[in-house]
Amino acid sequence: MALVRRRLAAIVPFTKLDQSSEIQKVRATIFSLWKVKNRQSGFVIEMVFVDEEGTRIHATVDEELIAKHKGILIEEKSLSINCFIIKEYYGDFRTTPLPYKIALCRTTRAKEINDFPPDLPEKYLSDFKSIKEDKLDKNVLIDMSSSRL
């Protein structure tokens, strides 16, 4: 009898995610979460995750999968997520500077983790001086509630 060994997913920072790989795992905190009415797919949950390096990425969950992930998708909760899809993130305005986003799918597994750093790295926060001096990318939205004054 042969034993089949399943390949374990490596933890990948958001900046190193690969669209062609299906075996990736991320660790992140849900920084912001909201529900949106979408013409094509009904209601969707949109989120911004922040990883341990302070990089943020946009994520989405379609209506038919909301019930599956409902109990775990809560703002400020830290998660380990694997088996997700990387999609292009286009549009005039984005919540993150990355050109792609995470889409949770039927095979996505997310579980709460307790060993994630409790504080967001300074890299995530926008400096008010940079905002005032117009030094930031105008196509990437800024969360004013988290900007350092």
Q: Given phi > 0 = left and psi -120 to 50 = alpha, else beta, which region is 144?
A: alpha
Residue 138 domain-assigned (yes or no): no
CATH label of the domain that carries residue 98: 2.40.50.140
Q: Which domain holds residue 76?
A: 10-119
Residues 33, 144: contact at Cβ < 8 Å?
A: no
pLDDT at 53: 87
pLDDT at 140: 54
Dihedral sign of CA atoms 26, 32, 38, 41 in order:
positive
Query: pLDDT value at position 147?
Result: 43
User: Quick one: CA dihedral 137, 37, 100, 67, positive or negative?
Assistant: positive
Three-state secondary-structure class, residue 76: coil
Q: Does residue 146 form part of some domain? A: no
Q: Tens digit of pLDDT per residue, the chain (149 long)?
A: 555 555 566 789 999 998 888 788 999 999 889 998 877 768 899 999 999 888 889 999 988 898 888 889 999 899 999 989 999 987 777 778 888 999 999 999 999 999 888 766 554 455 556 655 666 555 555 555 544 44
Residue 135's pLDDT is: 63
Reference 25, options 91, 83, 97; nearest CA is 83
3-state SS assignment for residue 84: coil
Judge whether 53 lies within some domain.
yes
Q: What's the pLDDT score for residue 87?
A: 92
Look at residue 124 and tell me if it is in a domain. no
44 in a structural domain? yes
* DSSP letter (8 states) at residue 14: G
- What are the start-end ranges of the E strands in the chain? 10-11, 24-38, 42-51, 56-61, 78-82, 85-88, 100-104, 109-112
- Residue 25 is predicted with a pLDDT of 93
148 domain residue, yes or no: no
Residue 4, in any domain of the structure: no
Q: Tell me if 78 sits within 8 A of 116, measured CB to CB.
A: yes
pLDDT the model gives residue 39: 76
Give the chain's domain count: 1
Task: Identify whether 18 is part of a domain.
Answer: yes
